[in-house]
Amino acid sequence: MSPLEVHAKSPAGRLLRAAWQPVARSIDLPKAGILALRMLSQDWTLWRSEAGIPVLAEAFCPHRGTRLSLGRVKGERLECHHHGICFDTFGWSNETFSMRSPPLQEQGGLIFAWLGEEEAAALPPIPELQGPVRVLAPESWPCSFYSRIQNSLDIRHVAHAHRRSGLATLLSEGWESKVEEEDSGFVLHLSAGGKELPKIRFVMPNRLEFFTPVSPELGWRKHIVWRVPQDAVHCVSFTVASLPAAEAPAAPLARPFAPSQIAELGEALLEGRLQWEELKTEHLTEVEDYVALCGGPATLWPSEEEPGLAALHARWRGAFPETG
Ligand code: FES
Ligand SMILES: [Fe+2]
């Protein structure tokens, strides 16, 4: 079994199912809306009743296996397209059919699901989710969730993959990183050119908190990011940006898991339809990461080469026993 497998019986899949995972933005699921999802190697239907209750249901109707995302919402029920069997917000029909409907909670503009079989734990408090936030559009990439987590802790790649950035210039003069362990993860402290840089926090199993430069006037803003596997080789990132003040809400997306502009530019570069010199985008850093992570086979990286990666791998080692 690949160590990156995330189905219910895999070690990584079990770890990820023992935590609340974001599965969609609240704004992308209007009343009576339905989304088809793939999360942790399982297909799901996410729908919202006309009263506003979000429901996660299995992808396929238990009657004859039709995709429930092609049905419609009628009041507080989801009606299957094929023969019209209706399911309530607990996954029950009036007849003999029922299905699993994992617990959901909405907070900070995200819908979180508990996909494990065990009883759901409390949603961990994240103070930033109570303040003014902007939930960025989900980013689906064809790479492992673990590659994306590693990338956020991999300082060495910044000087190469992001060599056009101001941070690369700073790091080229030499840098140092230090890990401070916490109960639920660790904090990576970074300094370069005699300056302390914003720290990066990792929280098991798949959450990161870091600061991103916005503009010289606005400075840095804090991002809270979940890298959620859709399966072993696809993941979606959900990012909550904590804002200094309230901003207009982001616009809803009709197809939230479709390839973003970043993915389209990345694919054009990977296929040779676009050259670096022709690339014009305000998401340069993300496109640089996309081509670094999504152009080849999914693998675990040898991770002991710098403190943040070693600390990450130490936390996950139980799920990746064969990698030592
Ligand atoms: S397949 Fe859904 S009602 Fe028959
Ligand atoms: Fe990067």
pLDDT digits (tens, 9 = 90+) for 290-302: 999 999 987 777 6
pLDDT confidence of residue 273 = 98
Check whether 95 has a pLDDT greater than 90: no
Ligand 1 lined by 113 (C-beta under 6 Å): no
pLDDT confidence of residue 303 = 57
Check whether 324 has a pLDDT greater than 60: no
Ligand 1 pocket test: pick from 72, 79, 80 the residue with the most ligand atoms within 8 Å of its Cβ. 80
Cα of 165 from ligand 2 centre, angstroms: 11
Cβ atoms 114, 44 nearer than 8 A: no
pTM of the predicted protein model: 0.95
Ligand 1 atom closest to the Cα of residue 71 is 2
Check whether 46 has a pLDDT greater than 90: yes
Which residue shows structure tokens 């859709």? 230
Ligand 1 lined by 80 (C-beta under 6 Å): yes
Tokens of 69: 């995302």
Report DSSP letters for 70-90, one per residue: GSEEETTEEE-TTT--EE-TT
Cβ atoms 128, 108 nearer than 8 A: yes
Looking at residue 297, the DSSP 8-state letter turns out to be: -
Which residue shows structure tokens 């140092």? 176
For 97-134, the pLDDT digits (tens) are 989 899 999 999 999 999 999 999 999 999 988 888 88
What is the C-alpha to C-alpha distance for residues 222 and 211, in angstroms, rounded to an integer?
A: 4
Helix axes 261-270, 284-294, angle to 10 degrees: 50
Looking at the CA of 64, which ligand is closest?
1
Q: Which helix (H) or strand (E) holds 197?
A: strand 195-203
Ligand 1 lined by 31 (C-beta under 6 Å): no
What is the C-alpha to C-alpha distance for residues 54 and 254, in angstroms, rounded to an integer?
A: 17
**pLDDT grade, residue 304 (50/70/90)?**
low
pLDDT confidence of residue 56 = 98
pLDDT confidence of residue 76 = 97
pLDDT confidence of residue 323 = 60
181-207 average pLDDT score: 95
pLDDT confidence of residue 322 = 66
Mean pLDDT over the full length of the chain: 92
For 211-267, the pLDDT digits (tens) are 987 777 777 789 999 999 999 999 999 999 988 777 777 899 999 999 999 999 999
Ligand 1 lined by 83 (C-beta under 6 Å): yes
Cα of 87 from ligand 1 centre, angstroms: 11
Query: Which is nearest to 320 in space by CA: 232, 201, 237?
Result: 232
What is the C-alpha to C-alpha distance for residues 73 and 62, in angstroms, rounded to an integer?
A: 17
- CATH 3.90.380: does it fit domain 129-323? yes
Q: Ligand 1 atom 3: the closest Cα is on which residue?
A: 83
Cα of 308 from ligand 1 centre, angstroms: 50
Task: Answer with the residue of higher pLDDT: 28 or 160.
Answer: 28
198-216 average pLDDT score: 91
Per-domain boundaries in the chain: 20-123, 129-323
What is the C-alpha to C-alpha distance for residues 37 and 58, in angstroms, rounded to an integer?
A: 10
What is the C-alpha to C-alpha distance for residues 60 and 65, in angstroms, rounded to an integer?
A: 5
Report DSSP letters for 36-74, one per residue: EEEETTEEEEEEE-TT--EEEEESB-TTT--BGGGSEEE
β-pairing, 234-242 vs 133-135, is antiparallel
- Percent of the chain at pLDDT above 70? 98
Q: Ligand 1 atom 4: the closest Cα is on which residue?
A: 83
pLDDT confidence of residue 283 = 92
Residues 6+ apart with CB under 8 A from 89: 49, 53, 55, 76, 77, 101
Residues 6+ apart with CB under 8 A from 99: 57, 58, 62, 87, 91
Topology of the domain covering 20-123: Rieske Iron-sulfur Protein (2.102.10)
For 143-185, the pLDDT digits (tens) are 999 999 999 999 999 989 998 877 788 888 889 999 999 999 9
Cα of 286 from ligand 2 centre, angstroms: 7
pLDDT confidence of residue 317 = 87
Residues 6+ apart with CB under 8 A from 292: 151, 157, 161
105: left (phi over 0), alpha (psi -120 to 50) or beta: beta
311-318 average pLDDT score: 90
